[in-house]
A and B are shown apart, each in its own frame.
Chain A
Amino acid sequence: MSEDARAAILASVREALRETKKGSQEKQDEPQALPTDAPADLCGNFLGELEALGAQGFVVSSADEAAGVVTPILARNQAKVICLGDGPWAASLRRALASLGTHEISYLDPQSPPREAAAAQAGIVEAHAAIAETGSILLDTRHGLLASLLPPLLIAFVWRKKIFADVASALEEIAREGRANGRVTILTGPSRTADIEKKLVLGVHGPREVVVLVAETQVPGT
């Protein structure tokens, strides 16, 4: 049945395009690149956009520094269970938090069943890129995406060198890295709605609080 439908739809599309295809053989002009002024300070712009979105951004050069930044935020959110994604920065942050030992934290694998992950108060993940113009981070969510989705607080690392100027260059990066056949989420600030009288409310279904840690190096120094 679906085969019939496929054939029928394709046939009517081809029939509809018969004249179009005849006429447009030669012209298929490549769109010209639009002028973009390359912003000098991608990181600065990125941090500024984050703030405008109601998110927070910090530049960190070590896991200890990151632990110092997130400890009060975790405490304020009474985060006792953290859903922890993969990656060297996430793992180092966990060790650094443990050595601070300010409060008891248990960790969940982001592969845990959704109902368990939903009980976490925070998620820590590594983004593979960011966009300066929009304050977005790019999350490869083929595996273990729950850490960036279910808990009300999201903490994400991104390497400073992977901050791209705009959406177009970030999409090129996705294609270049071969992530386009999996799942990528471009996450831009906290979950939000304006469905009630156009009033802005943060944290509807996704995280209400987003903290981005811009890492100076690809892996934390020892």
Chain B
Amino acid sequence: MRLPWAIGTLDQVIQVNSASTEELSSTAEELTAQAEQLIDITAFFKLDGEMSSGAGSPRRAGSGAKNQVRANAVPTRVHADGFVLKLNDTTDDTDFERVA
């Protein structure tokens, strides 16, 4: 009866590890989103030279930095505190077009 016992133990270890893996992956996604927000925040300083033309608007500086980040394809915003919801609260498909 040692083999079933060993397999049962193995299953338990796998379950614990799988849960941890998923949790870490979720944390990594959230960190990525947070990294992007941090870039937004600090862009206020970094892009100081561009501020004069932007009528002192930190929002513009922020989104400029975000676009830059997107172009470099580094962090992507993933769901963090319902952030995406507010941005994408569209009910119709006017901003989308079929490719095929």
A and B held together in a complex: no
